[in-house]
Structure 1
Amino acid sequence: MAKSKHYYIRKAHRYLGLILGIQFLLWTIGGLYFSWSNMDEVHGDFQKKPEPLLPANLPLVSPTVALNNIREIAGIDSLTSIQLIQILGKPYYQIRSMGATGNNHSHDHSGHQKIFLVNAETGQLRPALSEHEAVAVAKLRFNGNPKVAAVEYLTTTSRHHEYRESPLPAYAITFEHPSATTVYVASEWGTVQKFRNNKWRTFDLLWMLHTMDYESRDNISNILLRVFSVFGLVTVISGFVLYAISSKTLKNGFKKQGRLAINKVKIL
């Protein structure tokens, strides 16, 4: 005996609902967490001290002096930027360039840009931050005075690491704090790059489950998300159709309208 379309719609709706139910639950949990979270806390802004300012009367050398000293040891094809920063109270030029070679530079995550740190008072290049200096830099930027729990030197990161796609090498300084905050200091940039705490880690996990991008987190056009979105639409539509063909109220309404139409025809 041939099965009715009612049977097949119910079957499709049941299995689609089973497959999609877990993902719908994850989307709902993620949406609740995102909407109820304070993004300043997620980003760790409440833990960050403002960047210390340099006095305006510093006897700075011209950036040209710094560039000339760089050219003595490395070739520079082009400049990306020259920025005045401070490292432990002293001014430095952070010079970003392309196509340089030498020992006193670093690669960012793109693999092309090089970074030079030059003393802005003397014009002399300085090496990358030591572990002791990186810890001191992290402490100066962290609000409060917690103890250091662990220090890790990173030269590579996976696509799932909380410091992914950020300048390397870097020191990961984790503090003894209820939020388990880790401050990442790029050793050859001389600056703090990221604050990561437990709220951010929870957000990141739920965001991955929400976007269904299990590689880079932020690709909201991935195939898996598109497929589940289409399946979700089909599930909802099949539910409406299933209700329409199984509802006694709708059936009685259609029958009543049919009788009225027949009576009108007979009268005419």
Structure 2
Amino acid sequence: MRKIIRLTHRYLSFFIAIQLLLWTVSGIYFAFNKIEEVRGEQYRLPLNFNADLNNLNLVIQDASNIKVLNRLGETIISANNGKNLYFDLNGNRITKLKLADSLKIVEQNTTLQPIESMQIDNNQIGSEYRGRQLPLHKVIAENSNKEKINVYVNPYSGEIVAIRSNQWRSWDLMWGFHIMDWNERDNIDNLFLKVFSILALVSSITGVILFFRSKRS
């Protein structure tokens, strides 16, 4: 029986040792990096503005998540009724911003210096803008240290929906290692994570058993 336990512990430890190392390294990285800085919150400026809604003329059926936004000095309304909708105060649908407008938004609402912008229409698995509504305007900017920062702007609302830096990319890589989802890096309900978590538990239990059995002998 003892031999079976030793062999089980040895081979389980061999298979899970690398993943345990990745869990440890990624956990240390998470502990020493503030999530607010990873998300680029330090680059955002306060978004206070005056909104005059006295002349608002708008009816939206089955609306949820209604927001009042400032888009380059224009007050607009954002709502969702199964899809995202954007209106001016007269109830008219608004058009997309131009790429040059997104440069202005980054300049006005962040401490970053915008350089160039482009439109993104297609989603990519594991992309740094995953989970955001398309299309997006990607603005390449620089911080005070001349580090390239990607800023993603919703071209309808003018909202900055994501700020991505090398720090975020490192965090994202570590997160993929941590949850064992190396492709999409979003699925914490994957089979690999469940199996290796159980194996790590079994390895720990067999290690404790071996410790006490060796003391008796």
Shorter-chain TM-score bucket reads: 0.7 to 0.9
Q: Work out which of the residue numbers 52, 59, 62 in structure 1 matches 2:55.
A: 62
Residue 124 of structure 1 deviates from its aligned partner by 4.6
Contact 1:169 1:188 in 2 (8 A): no
Q: What are the Cα deviations for residues 71-117 of structure 1, in whole angstroms up to 9, with x where unaligned?
A: xxxxx6432244322111222x224243xxxxxxxxxxxxx413123
Q: Work out which of the residue numbers 63, 68, 72 in structure 2 matches 1:79.
A: 63
Q: What are the Cα deviations for residues 221-244 of structure 1, in whole angstroms up to 9, with x where unaligned?
A: 332211111111111122223334
Match status 1:222 vs 2:190: yes
Q: Which amino acid aligns with 2:95?
A: P
Match status 1:45 vs 2:41: yes
- The structure 1 segments of at least 4 consecutive aligned residues displaced by more than 6 Å after TM superposition are none
Q: Which amino acid aligns with 1:13?
A: H
Greater RCO, CA 8 A, separation 6+: 2
Q: Which residue does 2:77 correspond to in 1?
A: 94
Looking at structure 1, the residues matched to 194 and 216 of structure 2 have their Cα atoms a distance apart, in angstroms, of: 34
Q: Which residue does 1:165 correspond to in 2?
A: 131
Looking at structure 2, the residues matched to 97 and 236 of structure 1 have their Cα atoms a distance apart, in angstroms, of: 49
Q: Work out which of the residue numbers 5, 25, 28 in structure 1 matches 2:24.
A: 28
Contact 1:115 1:189 in 2 (8 A): no
Q: Work out which of the residue numbers 153, 156, 162 in structure 2 matches 1:194.
A: 162
Residue 36 of structure 1 deviates from its aligned partner by 1.1
Q: What are the Cα deviations for residues 104-147 of structure 1, in whole angstroms up to 9, with x where unaligned?
A: xxxxxxxx4131231x3x65543111111111112211214x24
Residue 20 of structure 1 deviates from its aligned partner by 0.4
Q: Please give the TM-score of this superposition, normalised by the length of structure 2.
A: 0.86
Residue 197 of structure 1 deviates from its aligned partner by 1.6
Match status 1:176 vs 2:108: no
Q: Work out which of the residue numbers 107, 127, 131 in structure 1 matches 2:99.
A: 131
- Structure 1 residue runs of 5 or longer lacking an equivalent are 68-75, 99-111, 252-268
Q: Which amino acid aligns with 2:209?
A: V
Residue 179 of structure 1 deviates from its aligned partner by 4.3
Q: Work out which of the residue numbers 108, 114, 117 in structure 1 matches 2:87.
A: 117
Q: What are the Cα deviations for residues 141-177 of structure 1, in whole angstroms up to 9, with x where unaligned?
A: 1214x241x4231122224111111121110112133
Contact 2:119 2:136 in 1 (8 A): yes
Looking at structure 2, the residues matched to 123 and 234 of structure 1 have their Cα atoms a distance apart, in angstroms, of: 61
Largest Rg, 1 or 2: 1
Q: Please give the TM-score of this superposition, normalised by the length of structure 1.
A: 0.71
CA 1:179–1:29: 2 relative to 1, 3 Å: farther
Looking at structure 2, the residues matched to 134 and 199 of structure 1 have their Cα atoms a distance apart, in angstroms, of: 23
Residue 11 of structure 1 deviates from its aligned partner by 2.3
Q: Which residue does 1:6 correspond to in 2?
A: 2
CA 1:30–1:97: 2 relative to 1, 3 Å: closer
